[in-house]
Structure 1
Amino acid sequence: MELFKENPNWAENLKPLIAKYKGKQHPLEYQNTYQLLVMVILSAQDSDANINKIAPALFEAYPNMESLAVSNIEALIPHISKVRNFVTKASWLIEIAQTIKEDKNIPLTMQGLTALKGVGRKSTNVIMRETKQPAEGIIADLHVIRVAPRIAIIPEANDGNKVEKLLMQALPKEIWGEIGMAISFLGRETCRPTNPKCPECPIETDCQYPLKTI
């Protein structure tokens, strides 16, 4: 079924959603920018819950970029061995640490962050949002990829970069910084893959999802 219909009023219609989640911290339980960067890299193709579980011991062993920079892949692996693709991610983290050297050198721009190993646009948008940088894109995680077409902001697309591009075309830049995470939280909490809680949705009256049977 084709659900998508062009709607020029989405910027206005999404205001209640943004108001509900504006400023809410990402589910990764980080304490500073260094931890955020490391956890975002580790969370690729893994769950935030799993990364939160291994993080305390990891950061006890490696409290900052300086400590990671003087380590090596073999020493790091035991601390992240329960993370998916841990060998590759260990090599990324060591290379980043040896390049950046100190926490204060962590870049906070799209160009600077995407130049780092294992950091794509989605991860960069998360880091920039959490560190309150001016948005250069829109977070398009798995929840956004699923929910944005479902509620008909954009047409169906399975690729995160494509979804981000479509959202950037559909929505004004002044809401880029919050809308991606807001849609992500909506997908996590309310607009579930099955049995969505439509009556609890702050944008129910504007959503075009046809199965509002709850």
Structure 2
Amino acid sequence: MDLFETKNDWEAKLVPILEKYKGQKHPLDYENLYQLLVMVVLSAQDSDANINKIAPALFETFPNMESLSVSNVDALIPYISKVRNFGTKASWLIDIAQTIQKDENIPLTMNSLTALKGIGRKSANVIMREAGVPAEGIIADLHVIRVSPRIGLIPENQDGNKVEKQLMQILPKSIWGEIGLAISFLGRQICRPKPKCPECPINMICEYYKINPIV
């Protein structure tokens, strides 16, 4: 089987989750691109739920990139002190704001986003997906890292960038923008560490389910 056939085969197998989760908003409860960028940076190694909790007070004080750009780390920290690695993230956010200056200057390409402090490929993929621009990669968060090997898409690997590269090699570019978050939602809702296999819309193509048909 050549790579083209493999890509088409996997696209067909993943249609049920692409359809189930297509167009769903990311779990971060943002209202605009500025808020999304800030929340994505804060959510690294932390939970979306925790970031959603601290966001209202944060954005009441810092409503846009311009207000953040004229602030400083000490002023920002009280609003994000319950976030993991808040000191480092405060420095990143002030640096980003001083670089970008205004909301309308937020970049939307992989290279320009990953050039900013605290934004790696995963974060950039999330921002680009939510902004509706053409995908240059695939979101590979903790759920995607866990679920992709389990269903048989790729070998097991804990490195997000390597997982993304493997997924990009096996999946057609036409679904890059949606498939990462579709797998992530599957991992959040159904394919948990202790999976709910009978509820899964792709259990019949899943390698794990073939070995563990009753869970």
- TM-score bracket for the superposition, by shorter chain length: over 0.9
Indicate if the aligned counterparts of 1:7 and 1:153 stay in contact, CA closer than 8 A. Answer: no
Structure 2 counterpart of 1:101, one-letter code: Q
C-alpha offsets along residues 144-187 of structure 1, whole Å, 9 cap, x if unaligned?
00000000011111100000000000100000000000000000
Q: Is the 8 A contact 1:145 1:157 kept in 2?
A: yes
Q: C-alpha separation between the residues in 2 aligned to 1:170 and 1:14? A: 12
Q: Superposed, which structure 2 residues align to 1:38-187 within 5 Å?
A: 38-187=38-187
Deviation of 1:10 (Å): 1.0
CA contact (8 A) 1:140 1:180 kept: yes
Is the Cα–Cα contact under 8 Å of residues 43 and 51 in structure 1 kept in the other structure?
yes
Which has a greater percent of helix? 2
Q: Give how far 1:8 is off.
A: 6.2
Give me the identity figure in percent.
73
Counterpart residue identity of residue 48, structure 1: D
Provide the residue aligned with 1:33 in structure 2. Answer: 33
Calculate the TM-score normalised by the size of structure 1: 0.95
**CA RMSD of superposed structures (Å):** 1.1
Quote the residue 2:204 is aligned against.
205
Relative to the length of structure 2, the TM-score reads 0.95
The alpha-carbon distance between structure 1 residues 84 and 146, as it changes in their structure 2 partners (threshold 3 A), is same
- The structural deviation recorded for 1:212 is 2.7
- The question of 1:190 aligning with 2:190 is answered yes
Structure 2, unmatched stretches of 5+, are 1-5
Q: 4+ runs of 1 displaced by more than 3 Å?
A: none
Report deviation, 1:9.
Answer: 1.5
Instruction: Tell me the number of residue pairs that the alignment of Structure 1 and Structure 2 aligns.
Output: 208
